């Protein structure tokens, strides 16, 4: 949906799911142990945001990400993270320096990284608010699933307690 990569993390930013629709650029970064750790750190930074509403931030590799919180019973249990795009076309000189730095830092072939970077989506200003709305709707759907599951588990425990033979 919306040409984004998305994943669900725990409340500290550790992945609970695989990334859906990862771009080739991010696959290369995640393929490096150092790059994967930098992604984990970026997701952890999203977890530390104080605002409840999704806000886009730049990750360690220069791409945009946002998160929506998932709460059940008023408790933060997870986050939905989406991103892997630019909000504007990067300056070619700055982009080349950034890619060279990333390739060296994460030991990735520069040519492969540069090719993959050409495929990163550039979203226009109208799509960004749509994405934050989408993130919140999907997170609320997860919240409903979680609340229904918690209610079902509570009822099952009550049934189990009532059916015990003393």
> Does 1 score more than 60 pLDDT?
no
Question: 38 or 87: whose pLDDT is higher?
Answer: 38
Mean of the per-residue pLDDT values for the chain? Answer: 86
Q: CB pairs under 8 A, 24+ apart, for 63-71?
A: 63/25, 63/26, 63/120, 64/123, 66/131, 66/132, 66/135, 67/9, 67/43, 67/135, 68/132, 68/135, 68/136, 68/138, 68/139, 69/139, 70/8, 70/139, 70/142, 70/143, 70/146, 71/143
> Does 110 score more than 60 pLDDT?
yes
For residue range 53-63, list pLDDT tens digits in order: 777 888 999 99
> Does 107 score more than 70 pLDDT?
yes
Burial status of residue 65 (CB atoms within 10 A of its CB: 0-12, 13-18, 19 or more): buried
Q: Are 53 and 119 in contact (CB under 8 A)?
A: no
Q: Are 146 and 72 in contact (CB under 8 A)?
A: yes
Question: 127 or 90: whose pLDDT is higher?
Answer: 90
């Amino acid at each position: 949906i919306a040409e984004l990569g998305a994943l669900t993390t725990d409340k500290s930013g550790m992945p609970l799911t695989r990334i859906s629709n990862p771009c080739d650029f991010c696959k290369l970064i995640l393929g490096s142990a150092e790059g994967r750790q930098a992604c984990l750190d970026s997701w952890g930074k999203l977890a530390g945001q104080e605002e409840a509403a999704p806000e886009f931030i730049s990750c360690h590799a220069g791409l945009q990400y946002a998160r929506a919180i998932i709460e059940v019973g008023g408790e933060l249990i997870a986050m939905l993270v989406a991103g892997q795009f630019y909000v504007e076309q990067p300056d070619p000189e700055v982009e080349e320096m950034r890619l060279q730095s990333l390739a060296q830092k994460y030991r990735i072939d520069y040519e492969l990284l540069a090719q993959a970077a050409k495929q990163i989506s550039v979203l226009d200003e109208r799509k960004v608010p749509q994405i934050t709305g989408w993130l919140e709707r999907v997170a609320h759907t997860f919240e409903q699933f979680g609340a229904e599951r918690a209610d079902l588990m509570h009822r099952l425990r009550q049934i189990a307690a009532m059916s015990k033979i003393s």
